[in-house]
Chain A
Amino acid sequence: MSISLTLNGTSRTIDADPETPLLWVLRDELGMTGTKFGCGIAQCGACTVHLDGMPIRSCQTQIGDLEGSSITTIEGVSGKAADAVRSAWEELSAAQCGYCQSGQILAASALLSETPKPTDDDIDAAMDGNVCRCATYARIRQAIHVAAEKMGA
């Protein structure tokens, strides 16, 4: 089956079994390995991408459902929020092993696009689905606040 969508701003036509999770299309068919496999059941958030700007779990999103949609991955995410997030991430060394960070950055960027000045509760609500086994949560939280400041500056 052939699916047409926009991926990181570029029109793509993908030929795949419609039930294939977007995660595996990205990683195996398109060679975009920045989106990570962590659990396969939407419990860890490592596979987070944006669907029309909203964070979704690509491991539970079938490619057949994405006709005409716009997908943004860690390789393509940019703009005020994403740039501020990356900059804050580097400033605070938010990553340790880094395997979850693509998902964290996508989730944080989506949060800041919607809520430029998030409270700790906003951050909890937006980020609780993204697991970090290195438990860098305190730095992720702080980095989101720093990114918010950068965006406002």
Chain B
Amino acid sequence: MFHFMKDQIQAAKPSRRSFLKMSAAGAGGFILAASLPGASRKAAASGGEFAQPFVHIRPDNKVVVLIKHLDMGQGNATGLATLIADEMDADAAQVETNFAPANAELYKNLAFGMQGTGGSTAMANSFQQYRAAGAAAKAMLVAAAARKWGVPVSTITVSKGVVTSTSGQSSNFGDLAALAANEDIPAEPVLKTPDQWVYIGKSFPRVDVPAKSRGSVGLYGMDHQAENMLVAVLARPPRFGAVPAGFDAAKAREVKGVVDVVQVPSGVAVLATSTWPAIAGRDLLAVTWDESGAETRGTDEMAKELAGMTATKGISVPGSHGDAEAAIASAAKVIEVDYAFPFLAHAPMEPLDITVFFDGEKAEFWTGSQFQTIDQMVSSRILGLTPDKVTINTSWAGGSFGRRAQPDSHYFAEAALIAKARLEAGNAAQPIKVVWTREDDIRGGYYRPMVSHKAKVGFDDKGQVTGWSHRVAAKSIMQGTAFEQFAMKDGVDSTSVEGIGELPYELPAFQTEVHNAKTPVPVLWWRSVGHTHTGYVAETMMDRLAKEAGEDPLDYRLKRIKNERLAGVLKLVAEKANWSTPLPEGRYRGIAAVESFGSYVAEVAEISFREDGTVKVEKVTCAVDCGLPVNPDNIKAQVEGGVGYGLGAVLRNEITMTDGQVDQSNFDTYLPLRMTDMPEVEVHIVPSTEAPTGIGEPGTPPVGPAVANAIAAAKGEWVTELPFSRHGYA
């Protein structure tokens, strides 16, 4: 996601060489925020034009790293702390993290140009920036020590949080913090060379596990507490596109604790003194809905519409080459394969929540904000404030998988509208926490789009491909959002076709077209975005093509692969999974490789079948190339989790609708992957000195096609209509 933004930023952004030094915050602590000149950025990760680090050293010797991203479990807080700690030579035990406030100038994602997290960019865009911040802070500590002790800088070394001079003096960071704050920020802090790294590429303890293992207070937005706070739960439209036309709240108001009922465009909010009466009151509301603009079709009808679209010519996607249609017309054999992918809910463990306080002059929010800049802009506009009057306190998020990355900031907007309505009705300002129940979450839309693919491939008489014509139909994620103007070019939304506009394999003629379907059902990026379906299609098709050619699926890929790093992970995973050795009876393997967000992941799934015919995924072996592995254990954790997340979806997840109403509502109908479903996952990381790329998403795309290819190895047929549960495999 957001490659379009990278292009935009690189083209438009002026070079910024000014340094920004903020005043000391608190007694003796110093905060450093520096913009570094281009000269120190020659190894910068893609998108990084200049750096803005942020580190706080407290008198109590704590190093607090300000995290400009949302950590929703993917570990970027630990990753960014690792960079600072390493360059500062801090002791891991003295490092803490805080989420940075919403401030696009200071904390923009260098890949986006705004503050936000997504597209597996956190480490990629921050790598040089945070290292430079750490290096600058260390240089200032050293300069302060040299001045204090009257010794040359060259006599000073720093190790594990201790500054030492060869003349005998030593100090911790905290005691030097106030002095260091007065030192000049170095114009070009000297970064360590890789051989000097103590944490990067090795290990650094996760900063969040202790607090998350103890039920610590205030970690998540859902846990926000405040004096005099109200909790709002909304009756939401039964169909997408419906709006409230009126309501009868008599019964709701009888619930002890309910204090108010407020209508906003997204529904009717019951406000209570705590969550339980708000839920109980909401359930007793009688709301009349205006469904004139609502989606009243079921998903079966929508699927038919999408499949119908792929039968007709669509918008040409860049990346095509050769005349695929002509090649197919004169082919010895043609196959046509239709794929159908369902809507998917993100279903993070923490349903959406947000607390707002608005007093007419300023506003404050508490939540796991993922697009801080957009959330700040949207809510400030609604509240009639300038963005600087809107404070966002970003908390840890209990998952997101894309759900909180909102182009329309709908949940911020909703909270702002409720707070505004309350104030305008003459109520005193008080904090309001909007809580989404699991049913609200599952039925709330912003799904991975429903998608239809049609692959038409021509072969010569030896089973070799002569041409491949491909069509995709889906509702565009970008169209109709603020991103559309620069995210869509000539009607093509890259998030609909990323991964299938151009294949990583050498084929004689290849072309892709796309159709943008329309529906009021809101759609959104879901962990790995377009690759969730394009990777499945491309990699199950490659197995079909190998079969037509009578070749081994791995050999077939390697012979045609254009990208060395993708070839590298394929070879590594094949070796680690013993691809060429026979399996015991009843076991089957499948392989798949997908590049997403600049990272390369290949996976081999080994499966068996239970007595009832369902698939048991025994083991998934993964090979990953995400450039320089900053924190190898976190890379492994993300790939393990990414495999589980992708597997759960292909096994049995789908949001369906009947007459426009969502059929699922909670984890009893939208069945999550559980412990008993989880395969053994083995992750191998390719050693690399390339700029680090992301790992939050890339583990997800290959698992579906790897398992599908294993099923096909057993049954001779590929599942083309997801999820597998539709075909008795789950």
List A residues 16-56 near B (Cβ within 8 Å): 17, 20-21, 24, 27-29, 31-41, 43-44, 46
> Smallest CB–CB gap between A135 and chain B, Å?
2
- Asked whether, in the complex, the Cβ of A93 is within 8 Å of the Cβ of B641, the reply is no
B676 at the interface (CB under 8 A from A): yes
> Smallest CB–CB gap between B603 and chain A, Å?
14
Q: Of A44, A46, A136, which one neighbours B640 at CB under 8 angstroms? A: A136
Whether A31 contacts B209 in the complex (CB less than 8 A), given A96-B641, A134-B641, A134-B645, comes out as no
**B441 closest partner in A (C-beta):** A39
A110 at the interface (CB under 8 A from B): no
> Smallest CB–CB gap between A36 and chain B, Å?
7
- Asked whether, in the complex, the Cβ of B215 is within 8 Å of the Cβ of A34, the reply is yes
Q: Of B72, B274, B676, which one neighbours A128 at CB under 8 angstroms? A: B676
Q: Of A31, A39, A105, A135, which one neighbours B667 at CB under 8 angstroms? A: A39
- Asked whether, in the complex, the Cβ of A133 is within 8 Å of the Cβ of B349, the reply is yes
B223 at the interface (CB under 8 A from A): yes
- Asked whether, in the complex, the Cβ of A86 is within 8 Å of the Cβ of B399, the reply is no
**B642 closest partner in A (C-beta):** A135
- Asked whether, in the complex, the Cβ of A130 is within 8 Å of the Cβ of B675, the reply is yes
Q: With A and B bound together, what is the CA distance between A123 and B397 in angstroms?
A: 27
A150 at the interface (CB under 8 A from B): no
Q: With A and B bound together, what is the CA distance between A83 and B397 in angstroms?
A: 25
**Please, what's the 1-or-0 string for A125-138, where 1 marks a CB less than 8 Å from any CB in chain B?**
00110111111111
Which of B211, B275, B347, B398 is most buried by chain A, counting CB atoms within 10 A of its CB?
B398
> Smallest CB–CB gap between A102 and chain B, Å?
5
Whether A99 contacts B676 in the complex (CB less than 8 A), given A28-B276, A133-B399, A139-B640, comes out as no
B244 at the interface (CB under 8 A from A): no
**Please, what's the 1-or-0 string for B196-235, where 1 marks a CB less than 8 Å from any CB in chain A?**
0000000001101111111111111011010000010000
List B residues 59-83 near A (Cβ within 8 Å): 72-75
B38 at the interface (CB under 8 A from A): no
- Asked whether, in the complex, the Cβ of B215 is within 8 Å of the Cβ of A73, the reply is yes
Q: With A and B bound together, what is the CA distance between A128 and B672 in angstroms?
A: 11
**B353 closest partner in A (C-beta):** A37
B444 at the interface (CB under 8 A from A): no
Q: With A and B bound together, what is the CA distance between A43 and B439 in angstroms?
A: 12
> Smallest CB–CB gap between B214 and chain A, Å?
7
A95 at the interface (CB under 8 A from B): yes
B190 at the interface (CB under 8 A from A): no
> Smallest CB–CB gap between B357 and chain A, Å?
18
> Smallest CB–CB gap between B92 and chain A, Å?
13
Q: With A and B bound together, what is the CA distance between A31 and B678 in angstroms?
A: 34
> Smallest CB–CB gap between A81 and chain B, Å?
14
- Asked whether, in the complex, the Cβ of A74 is within 8 Å of the Cβ of B276, the reply is no
- Asked whether, in the complex, the Cβ of A28 is within 8 Å of the Cβ of B274, the reply is yes
A98 at the interface (CB under 8 A from B): yes
Q: With A and B bound together, what is the CA distance between A97 and B672 in angstroms?
A: 16
Report how many residues on chain B are interfacial, defined by Cβ distance under 8 Å.
63
Whether A98 contacts B645 in the complex (CB less than 8 A), given A36-B222, A138-B640, comes out as no
A75 at the interface (CB under 8 A from B): yes
Q: Note all chain B residues with C-beta closer than 8 A to A71.
A: none
- Asked whether, in the complex, the Cβ of B208 is within 8 Å of the Cβ of A98, the reply is yes
Q: Of B74, B397, B678, which one neighbours A138 at CB under 8 angstroms? A: B678
Q: Note all chain B residues with C-beta closer than 8 A to A133.
A: 347-349, 399, 401, 645, 672
**A31 closest partner in B (C-beta):** B225
**Please, what's the 1-or-0 string for B401-422, where 1 marks a CB less than 8 Å from any CB in chain A?**
1000000000000000000000
- Asked whether, in the complex, the Cβ of B206 is within 8 Å of the Cβ of A93, the reply is yes
> Smallest CB–CB gap between B382 and chain A, Å?
27
B362 at the interface (CB under 8 A from A): no
> Smallest CB–CB gap between A119 and chain B, Å?
13
- Asked whether, in the complex, the Cβ of A86 is within 8 Å of the Cβ of B645, the reply is no
A112 at the interface (CB under 8 A from B): no
Number of A-B residue pairs with CB-CB distance less than 8 Å in the complex they form? 177
Q: Note all chain A residues with C-beta closer than 8 A to B75.
A: 96
Whether A136 contacts B637 in the complex (CB less than 8 A), given A96-B75, A98-B398, comes out as yes
Whether A21 contacts B645 in the complex (CB less than 8 A), given A90-B213, A124-B675, comes out as no
**Please, what's the 1-or-0 string for B630-673, where 1 marks a CB less than 8 Å from any CB in chain A?**
00011001101101110110000000000000000011100011
Q: Note all chain B residues with C-beta closer than 8 A to A105.
A: 213
Q: Note all chain B residues with C-beta closer than 8 A to A33.
A: 215, 217-218, 220, 222-223, 225
- Asked whether, in the complex, the Cβ of A98 is within 8 Å of the Cβ of B437, the reply is no
Q: With A and B bound together, what is the CA distance between A135 and B347 in angstroms?
A: 12
Q: With A and B bound together, what is the CA distance between A96 and B695 in angstroms?
A: 13
A94 at the interface (CB under 8 A from B): yes
A117 at the interface (CB under 8 A from B): no
Q: Note all chain A residues with C-beta closer than 8 A to B206.
A: 90, 93, 95
- Asked whether, in the complex, the Cβ of A43 is within 8 Å of the Cβ of B667, the reply is yes
Q: Note all chain B residues with C-beta closer than 8 A to A44.
A: 349, 438, 667, 672
**A21 closest partner in B (C-beta):** B276
**A74 closest partner in B (C-beta):** B215
- Asked whether, in the complex, the Cβ of A43 is within 8 Å of the Cβ of B675, the reply is no
Q: Note all chain B residues with C-beta closer than 8 A to A36.
A: 220, 222, 349-350, 398
B717 at the interface (CB under 8 A from A): no
> Smallest CB–CB gap between A104 and chain B, Å?
9
Q: Of A24, A32, A139, which one neighbours B274 at CB under 8 angstroms? A: A24
Q: Note all chain B residues with C-beta closer than 8 A to A21.
A: 276
B256 at the interface (CB under 8 A from A): yes
- Asked whether, in the complex, the Cβ of B633 is within 8 Å of the Cβ of A93, the reply is yes
Q: Note all chain A residues with C-beta closer than 8 A to B401.
A: 133
> Smallest CB–CB gap between B672 and chain A, Å?
5
> Smallest CB–CB gap between A145 and chain B, Å?
13
B681 at the interface (CB under 8 A from A): yes
Q: Note all chain B residues with C-beta closer than 8 A to A99.
A: 220, 348-350, 398-399
- Asked whether, in the complex, the Cβ of B216 is within 8 Å of the Cβ of A28, the reply is no
User: What are the nearest 10 A-B pairs in CB distance?
Assistant: A34-B215, A135-B644, A99-B398, A97-B73, A98-B212, A74-B215, A96-B73, A33-B223, A28-B274, A137-B678
Q: A95-B213, A97-B72, A134-B644 are in contact. List 7 more A-B contacts (CB 8 A).
A: A27-B223, A37-B222, A37-B351, A93-B205, A96-B74, A100-B398, A133-B348
